[in-house]
Structure 1
């Protein structure tokens, strides 16, 4: 068994112990350790646990639960074969049923302060007249000191795939802080509670490819998703989101195949706030 699969099994069936609360989250969110129980030297896996009981009701996402939307978004990622969302389940925990998702270890967590200041994140800010090589501009703004800055993101194929994914799942909250660069050099997206609405709610910091064509290889995966949404996947998703939202997902995928071009930010509030 691979280490990843072992961690996934612990996430699904292990005993959860709360290590601490993640205070920056708007809903109750905990860092937990999943273990086999009874064996102090046994394998463990860290995870994020968001109990349904700790969710704040949202008037614009009234149906189902945020946990259900997070799981549904993971299932779409898995169906596409893109591995964008970390392994996610809904299960019982210390505060009742909730979403559990494998923790992503990031190299920046262990960098010293001087090194961290010299390293640009995948989504970052830079002086308005100094766009770094390998980055794309999103918008020009002013920082708290009144200096002109650019919101930028890396011109990275993994981010480009995430941008396509966000169009499909209609992500209303793709902030820079919801994009994680792992110690294994993988890129994951997290915090998908505001996804899969029937109305157009796309808000993202990943606008660098607006108006650009979508690659054929990516479209092949999208076509496969359309096929899967004719069968069991649609029924599975309907356990967590409405049938209308499942149909809207299928319609967005079909529309992407018909017009394989990334959308442009010509809608109201195209970027989530805060952006990080």
Structure 2
């Protein structure tokens, strides 16, 4: 049996993922609440209202993305959404609901804001978080996350672990930089391998909903590299160890 995570509800107002997506996709925008601190790219806190329900969202406009030498310009917002749909396709619910919207500063990614204590992040976790961290660590391996800082691991009021900031994912070249090396060399739990095998099947089916959605977000070369990473993990069946070159993001928080 697969170790699927039950779909969480947003703790403050009981929103399901489906309802949150509807609000993000169809809602009206309120006044920007200001820039988020410590962000590399322009990131705004934005109220979104639909059917008298208002949520806060993290809005990252495409034109506010900082140019990078190793990621195609203007693609980070698409990678944010690609990470969300991949998390959902796995049934792991690690990434907050995320959509593409043309909002107050043009097109960009719009992600449900998760109420959390910013001081309670990866570096403050205890052993009770290990099962959820094992999923997030594996998710970063397959999505080739180049920026898993400790502060990108947040916990909501119900104790559910979320990963945020996935703009630097799905690169063709090996880019994995993460603070979560706790499981390096350890066997990957069988239920998680089963989930990855099912994801491979969805990727190989050109007519699957997931494959169609992913093809609209990242390049086919990146999808092919994604498939190779999945196959490598399924063959080796262990968490990778740090390799040559940079293995940790900077700053780590």
TM-score norm. by structure 1 comes to: 0.81
The ranges of structure 1 where at least 4 consecutive aligned residues each deviate by more than 4 angstroms after the TM superposition are: none
Give the Cα separation in 2 of the matches to 1:124 and 1:229. Answer: 34
Per mean C-alpha deviation after superposition, the further-off stretch among 210-219 and 60-69 is 60-69
1:95 corresponds, among 90, 105, 122, to: 105
Residue aligned with 1:224, SS:
helix
Q: Does 1:33 align with 2:7?
A: no
How many residues get paired?
A: 236
Q: Is the 8 A contact 2:79 2:170 kept in 1?
A: yes
Which ranges of structure 1 fall in alignment gaps of 5 or more residues?
A: 110-115, 126-131, 136-153
Residue aligned with 1:20, SS:
coil
Q: Does 1:51 align with 2:25?
A: no
1:189-225: CA deviation from partner (whole Å, max 9, x where unpaired): 0000000011111000000100000011000100000
Alignment of 1:1-276 (within 5 A): 3-4=15-16, 5-17=18-30, 18-36=32-50, 42-62=52-72, 65-106=75-116, 108=117, 121-124=120-123, 134=126, 156-231=130-205, 232=208, 233-276=210-253
TM-score norm. by structure 2 comes to: 0.88
More strand by share: 1
Backbone CA RMSD of aligned residues: 2.0
Give the Cα separation in 2 of the matches to 1:261 and 1:170. Answer: 16
Residue 252 of structure 1 and its aligned partner are, at CA, apart by 0.8
Which ranges of structure 2 fall in alignment gaps of 5 or more residues?
A: 1-13
Residue 162 of structure 1 and its aligned partner are, at CA, apart by 0.2
Residue 240 of structure 1 and its aligned partner are, at CA, apart by 1.6
